[in-house]
Amino acid sequence: MIPEPIRKFIESFSRLPSIGPRLASRLAFSLTLLDKQELEKIKQAIWGIQSLERCPNCFFFRQKSKKLCDICANPSRNPKIVAIVENETDLLALEQINRLNSHYLILGEITKDGLIQAEQKFRLQGLKNRIKKDLGGQLEELIIALNPNTFADLTSEIISQEFKTLAKTITRLGRGMPTGGEIEFADKETLIQALERRH
């Protein structure tokens, strides 16, 4: 009953986070209302995603043609302040409130046991190497900006221990953020407060 192209669209899009089959079908039908030119723009926007690669320093995305992401390549940022975040959307949330002039490290998803996974160890090791090799052996500040929940608290504790001698100060977001809350969805004011009350 469902036309093949719509069915295929729903199948692909309903795999994406926050988009279930219902939203995917609404999207599919709304796209039928667009003209070719507009569809082409959407197609190119989706296709453009595959030209991204991970920045070797912070693991945010960079364009294939560039060595580093725009944040790491920006000379007016302080490389000796690094904020560790769980994912890209947390990084964007912190960037939006415009209070940090730091670099970042994207850690990747925190697992339910709070223990550090192999890929996360690799990313943290990369930061440690850069601190020793390029950043004079010590950061001015390492901000552990993980979501306030029991698992991430354990992860934060492990990271603090590991970086004890590699950063002058190690801070975490203040308790402006409710426990169990998520950085990505926090309103600006809450996030600013959490950042200003970091300790």
Contacting residues toward Zn ion, per CB under 5 A: 55, 57-58, 60, 69, 72
Q: Is 60 exposed, middle or buried (0-12, 13-18, 19+ CB in 10 A)?
A: buried
Would you say 72 or 83 has its CB closer to Zn ion? 72
- Smallest gap from residue 63 Cβ to Zn ion (A): 12
- Measure the CA dihedral 155/161/164/167, to 10°: 0
- Smallest gap from residue 23 Cβ to Zn ion (A): 32
Would you say 83 or 191 has its CB closer to Zn ion? 83
Q: How many angstroms separate the CA atoms of 174 and 193, rounded?
A: 7
- Smallest gap from residue 69 Cβ to Zn ion (A): 3
Helix (H, G, I), strand (E, B) or coil at 84: strand
Would you say 57 or 120 has its CB closer to Zn ion? 57
Helix (H, G, I), strand (E, B) or coil at 171: strand
